[in-house]
Structure 1
Amino acid sequence: MHVSERLLQLYADTNASIRTKLQETIKQNLGDGKSLRMSFEELTGTTNTTLSNEEKSAMDFAAWIKDGKKDATFLPYYVSLLEMHDAVLNKEATIPQSNPVDKTTVNETSVVVKAVVPVPQPVAVEDPKGKEKSLTSKPRYMPEAPVPSRAERAKYQRTIEPAKPRRKSGKWIGVLFLLTLLIGGGYIGYPYVMDLLEPKPEAKIVEETPKPGPEPVVQEPETNYVWLASKNVNLVSEPNGTTITYIGDIGDRYEIVKELDDHVEVNLDGTTAWAPIDSVTTDWPTRDLTDSALLDWVNTNLNNDWLGEAIPDFFAMNEAALTETIGAPYGRETDALNAYAFYNGGFFVIQQDKVHAIDWTNTQTTREAFSPLGEPVLETDDAVVYESETYSLRLFEGTNGQIRVRLTEK
């Protein structure tokens, strides 16, 4: 069974208080840093050579828990300890204590008291001459040259003589010239004036109705998708990286962002991750399975006593409505994409505050029980997928014989 599937199964089988005690014990043991292999040996008394020799501290482990358990280095270490939690919690972990160091030092500084000597302020001395100057009037302006008298100015004035009368003959010449212009202009302009006075037929203006052009065709952009073709696919933060952003299941559908070499970048509800090309497919067949036939199979072959409501009603609920309907879960976990609410009998997958899937854990259902549903959409050695128009029904087989069934709204 994949380590992520073991973690989901362990969360379904253990309560939150045990997991919290185990996490505190791990933090005390890791302290300022030690290898995960050595820490596992100290906590359990056994050796696990598959664990990493990389040194990790309690702060690294706390950050890993808070960040949604993305780092693949911590995942097998934590799952192995969770499987042996009885032995770990019953054994006292040895935590090296370090002698406290008094880092407080007192620095004595000499205080110099300086006497403040008052500085004498300059006293303003009033100038007695200032009053005398203010009483003295300003001297009158005296022109550099004397102003000439009226008689002298008269010498420079010009004598104005009366204008001589014009000759009267010029007026008659002007009148004759004007009469000639009027007579000639009237003769020449008469046809134009008459043409302006005649009424002209009004021109009819015909407005052409514009022909409607072809309506623009709105082309919706084509969206490409991929489906995971194998169980428990690690979606990493970068191509060939080790930081796991999300662990997907067979049959999950994602929108393609871009492709690069042997990886494809997919959209994860606001973030992205990279999936190996050999773990995805773009060819996803359809079957003639109806919603009613699929739901009838779920009601017949699975134990639904812990639900108490009709299956389709849960997919219209948010987390608050779910709690109000069947009570509060005994455990809750989150990752980069979903939240998981654990109950006795299974758990709910909540995506964007809405029930996205229902999982039945530790069922007695076999692969042969799915045969009445017809041909599956996809089948592997450890998983099988059936789909109707609205729902996806999947079976996951673990290496230890455990069977998990998931119903998802597409």
Structure 2
Amino acid sequence: MHVSERLLQLYAETTAATRTTLQHVIKQNLGDGKSLAVSFEELTGETNNALPTIEKSAADFTNWIKDGKRDSTFLPYYVSLLEIHEDVLNKEAPTDKPVVKAAPTAERVDVTSPTSQPSETPRQADKTSAPKRRYTPEMPVPSRAERAKYQRTIEPASPRKTSGAKWIGALVLIGLLIGGGYIGYPYVMDLFEPSPTVEDAEKDVPEPEPVVETPEANEVWLTEKNVSLVSEPNGTDVTYVGDIGDRYAVLDKQDDHVLLDLGVDDMTAWAPVDATTTEWKPFTLSDQQVINFLRTGVDQTYVEAPSVESFLAMSEAELYEQLGQPYGGDEDALNDYAFYNGVFFVIQDEAVHAIDWTNTPTTKEVFKQLGNPVYETDDAIVFESPKYSLRMFVGENGTTTRIRVTEI
């Protein structure tokens, strides 16, 4: 039988405690170093020439056990001792002292064998519970009579100091009371004052001032040429003759006439409602477009230098100084008219108000090429820009035209 197989067989026949005791005896015998043959002879009293004479120490034997008993140097030595372990242990143990078995230590066995290594279950020492000792105080507890000697009167604890938060809360409460009294004082005083009587209340009420009814302020535009503005509704006394595109403020309305503010010296006149409108389109041309047309579409004899803008800013005296005295003149309730060759100036409040060119070569079709008119009838067209009103009036024959420019 191979030595390793014999070792496995001996492991199955012996207990772990026995093997541990034997290993302890071997370690004590080997010490710092000794030949295995000599050690075997000392432990058993027999000679085994098959064992090696190499010196090994207890540390070498311990490492061999931990390494799984792989080295073959200790294997025949250990197996030979394990076979006669009873003789070895009995020889080492003295007769007058019992053998003290050391606690089993875990062994690692790694021996190649055709059969599996048997499992070992170490015996567990029975644990006996020792009785608990009863607690005994180091100092004796005094009796009730002795404790009564040391009793004293228990005084109540001193009150805690008032925290700062309570002081703050008290101050806030006082402030609220003061503020409430300040606010409520007038109401409280009213309870003690006598209420005013009905007669006193009637005396204190001021008399209402008379309300002057003012007419609704709005504007209208004339929608026809040569509209007769009369002094009274349905009257025949003509105050002024207005033209299409003239704008006036409405002061009153009566039946089918509206009272207009003519804008000069508080003059008023009545116009038929059918010849007016309250709806008027916004301007469709720019100021420069109006000026550009007047430079080519009308006679430039009098307006080439200075320009149209300059003439509309002149006073009556400046106009006469620039052009000389007119060839003829006329006047009505609102305006004065200064006539020159092919053109006349409308003067209002001693200033140039409008310029009219008569018998112009511009036809209605050419005039409409400026853009979308603000208002148009069969015999008149009105264009407007932010500053100017440009109008064309067609004569009764349908061919002659008159063009007017005025500041709005």
TM class by shorter chain equals: 0.3 to 0.5
Q: What TM-score, normalized to structure 2?
A: 0.46
Taking structure 1 as the reference length, the TM-score comes to 0.45
